Amino acid sequence: MVLPLFLLALIPICASALPTQDVLRTPSTRPLVIWHGLGDSHSSPGMLEFQSLIKDIHPGIFIHSVFIDQDLKEDQRAGFYGNVDEQIDFVALQLANITELGHGFDAIGFSQGGQFLRAYVERYNSPPIHNLVTFGSQHMGIADLPLCKPYDVLCRLAGNAARAGVYRPWAQEHLVQAQYFRDPAQLPAYLASNHFLASINNELPEARNSSYAKRLTTLEHLVLVIFAQDKTVVPKESAWFGSYAVPEDEDDEDDTIVPMKAQPLYEEDWIGLRQLDERGAVVLDSCDGEHMQMTTDCWEPLVKLYVGGTM
């Protein structure tokens, strides 16, 4: 049968008007990835409780808690001992193989988990992070090792080993905290030996990677949360990309804080932080209390605002 010309003319219009698969797809809640902090594990009681509270706010949300080892004790140990670069490579592969994360996700990093997630963004970001929220993270490193609880043998052993030679090759390969230990009084030693923090902050001119900035600037928001009474992270301003100033004399103890916008990393935009900030995408927030003392008033507004958007 031959169709009349006026019907033939209508066929392209009708075909183009048909809804595509994307139009028919029901909007869903963007998933969330969490990376725990030092001394914790991927499914500790505290982590499971936090995930449950998020699910109360965003019903139906898919949450993945990053692990280095599925065994809880080994995962906790990996927060102290291991090569951070290798751990981030492992996590990148882990995230790439989770179907629910394929279209991207929001992320929350607790303490050192925050700078590790930022490293994932800069080095991989596939699948991509949309909003990254970091709580008390050491983005400009630490100038002193964290205090240990009286019976935390794992922490004490790692701390003693690091103090014995934080910039020696063994410590830089095997002790996690040594890999983001940045003492301004020992800056040449740090730059010569460090392979993790100096890399993700693009501090080495001969090894500066422009792709880090390109990937970081794809974030919708970078939310940096400082704990106002933090005595564990030294200096606490590291959570806002602050650091101690380089002392003029090696015998001086200079507690002057160089804020984010006065850092060469920001001024010369080594990692794209300045671009993000000028776009209004860097959010500086503060929580009362010591390190990782997260009250509901502290974390809940941020989870409501930067987690659980529609895909």
In contact, 235 and 138? CB cutoff 8 Å: no
In contact, 265 and 238? CB cutoff 8 Å: no
Closest CA to 144 of 197, 192, 180: 180
Classified as helix, coil or strand, 220 is coil
Distance CA 65, CA 226 (A): 22
Of 13-17, 52-56, 85-89, the poorest mean pLDDT is in: 13-17
Q: Which CATH architecture has domain 32-306?
A: 3-Layer(aba) Sandwich (3.40)
In contact, 224 and 283? CB cutoff 8 Å: yes
Please state, in angstroms and as integers, the Cα–Cα distance from residue 243 to each residue in 99, 125, 143, 159, 235, following that order.
39, 26, 8, 21, 6
DSSP 208: -
Choose, from 137, 230, 238, 243, the residue flagged as catalytic: 230
Please state, in angstroms and as integers, the Cα–Cα distance from residue 193 to each residue in 179, 281, 300, following that order.
9, 32, 39
Classified as helix, coil or strand, 226 is strand
Taking residue 23's Cβ as centre, other Cβ atoms within 10 Å add up to: 7
Classified as helix, coil or strand, 194 is coil
Distance CA 117, CA 99 (A): 19
Closest CA to 74 of 90, 97, 92: 90
Q: What is the pLDDT of residue 6?
A: 35
Q: What is the pLDDT of residue 251?
A: 60
Q: What is the pLDDT of residue 144?
A: 86
User: Taking the CA of residue 243 as centre, how many other CA atoms within 13 Å lie in the half-sphere pointing to its CB?
Assistant: 24
Amino acid at 153: V
Based on the residue annotation, tell me whether 255 is a catalytic residue of this protein: no
Check residues 147 and 188 and name the one with the higher pLDDT.
188
- The pLDDT of 145-150, averaged and rounded, is 66
In contact, 198 and 102? CB cutoff 8 Å: no
Identify the band that residue 297 occupies on the pLDDT scale cut at 50, 70 and 90.
very high
Check residues 87 and 22 and name the one with the higher pLDDT.
87
* Displacement of CA 145 from its chain's centroid (Å): 20
Based on the residue annotation, tell me whether 254 is a catalytic residue of this protein: no
Check residues 4 and 107 and name the one with the higher pLDDT.
107
Based on the residue annotation, tell me whether 111 is a catalytic residue of this protein: yes
Choose, from 41, 111, 137, 238, the residue flagged as catalytic: 111
In contact, 167 and 161? CB cutoff 8 Å: no
